[in-house]
Amino acid sequence: MGHRAAPGHGHRDRSDRRGTRSHPRRGGGHRPAPRPARLGHLPYGTGAPGHRVRNLGPGPRTDRHRGRGPVRHPLRRGRLAHRRPRTGPAHRARRGRRRRTHRHRALVRRHPYRRGLRRRGSAYRPHRQGGERVSRLGICSVTLRHLDPAAVISAVAGAGLECVEWGGDVHVPPGDTTVARAVRAATLDAGLAVASYGSYYRAGHTDPGEFDAVLRSAVALGAPRVRIWAGVTGTDATPPEGRRAVVEDTRRAAALAADAGVELAYEFHRNTLTDGAAHTLRLLDEVGRAEVRTYWQPPVDLPDAEALTGLDVLGDRVAAVHAFSWWPGTTRLPLTARAPLWRRAFERLSTEGAAPLDVLLEFVPGDDERLLPREAATLRALAAV
């Protein structure tokens, strides 16, 4: 007869199950059968006298061990001798959670750039009812170019923004995947997301081999999008052969990026082939790849009505927006100075489609990080249309 523990010990004695086997479909080894005649070979009990351990596993007990807690099972030795039993619905639930966790971690490692894959710190929100586009508010790290990545992350998180477009000029240099991985980890640990990689690769002008370094950094950073530039001259000043070089280089880069699950987007900027909405649309049509889109920002010295007309022309070809308030020329003003422009821009963005869209602060007056909370609060108020 197996020894049954005295009442009040807080556990059930299972020593009377000797001679049985575990369920064939459950984990764990066989229980000993039969019990040895002598028990002197058993290991010592664990815990101080009177100590009890919850979830006592099966195993023989003797009077000598009664006050010393559970005895190690002969087939369970080492530091895992007292692990929880591998049977029952609780174990199956734990095993299922572990499998799902491992599967999710493997997906994140294999596809760190996949849109819609939830990862720790991801700030993507589910789509609103009615198909409205969801705007994710963030910042371009070039806004705080004078700060290191840790200080940028602290400032962005303190301002209540959601994501960062990391620039390739200072914070995440092309090809330095060690820095990219460290910045990505720090970004996610702060509860932020990586919106994109802001490269300075100029299609048709930069050495094509440099795009490989850009793409490696983007993948290590976990960026779903890479910003590139459409040449070095405006539409009217670019000869036909220069335009062909931009188109062909963009197609080549887009094919490489697509293999890595990354999309491209042109900087919407003067002195490039995207120096206007109609010009940008023409260039995108010539490239002819769905994974190549464009940014949008208010052109310098263009009145509000004309700037918003350009946004309407581009429509769903817009991948992200750079938000700032310049007037006249490149004079940097608070966002409130052009609040009517941005309020109407958000009204258009909320009805253009169902895909998420990043609106990223770019530049603050005087490059003063102390103004970031105020500008971020203004951006949130303008986005609440």
Integer angstrom CA distances of residue 110 from 42, 106, 144, 234:
47, 6, 31, 39
235, 273 contact by CB (below 8 A): yes
Specify the CATH class of 135-383 in words: alpha beta
Answer whether 0.75 is exceeded by the pTM: no
Task: Indicate the DSSP class of residue 132.
Answer: P
Output the six-digit token pair for 360: 């990223």
- Spell 252-278 as b/e; 16+ CB within 10 A means b: ebbeebeeebbbbbbbbbeebbbbbbe
Q: How far apart are CA 238 and CA 235, in angstroms?
A: 5
The residue ranges of every structural domain in the chain are 1-87, 135-383
Q: Render the burial of 58-87: b for 16+ CB within 10 Å, e for the rest.
A: bbbbeeebbebbbbbbbebeeeebbeebbe
Per-residue pLDDT of the chain (385 residues; tens, 9 = 90+): 444 445 444 444 444 444 444 444 444 454 455 544 444 444 444 444 444 444 444 444 444 444 444 444 444 455 555 566 667 777 778 788 888 777 777 666 655 545 455 544 444 343 344 334 457 999 999 999 999 999 999 999 999 999 999 999 999 999 999 999 999 999 999 999 999 999 999 999 999 999 999 999 999 999 999 999 999 999 999 999 999 999 999 999 999 999 999 999 999 999 999 999 999 999 999 999 999 999 999 999 999 999 999 999 999 999 999 999 999 988 999 999 999 999 999 988 887 454 668 999 999 998 899 999 999 999 999 998 6
The answer to whether the beta carbons of residues 310 and 298 sit under 8 Å apart is no
* Cβ 243 vs Cβ 232: under 8 Å: no
Q: Tell which residue, 217, 289, 301, 290, has the closest CA to residue 260.
A: 217
Q: What are phi and psi of 323, to 5 degrees?
A: -105, 125
Q: Which distant-in-sequence residues (6+ apart) come within 8 Å of 286 by Cβ?
A: 243, 247
Nearest one of 138, 192, 137, 196 to 171, comparing CA atoms: 196
Rounded Cα distance, 270 and 129, in Å: 37
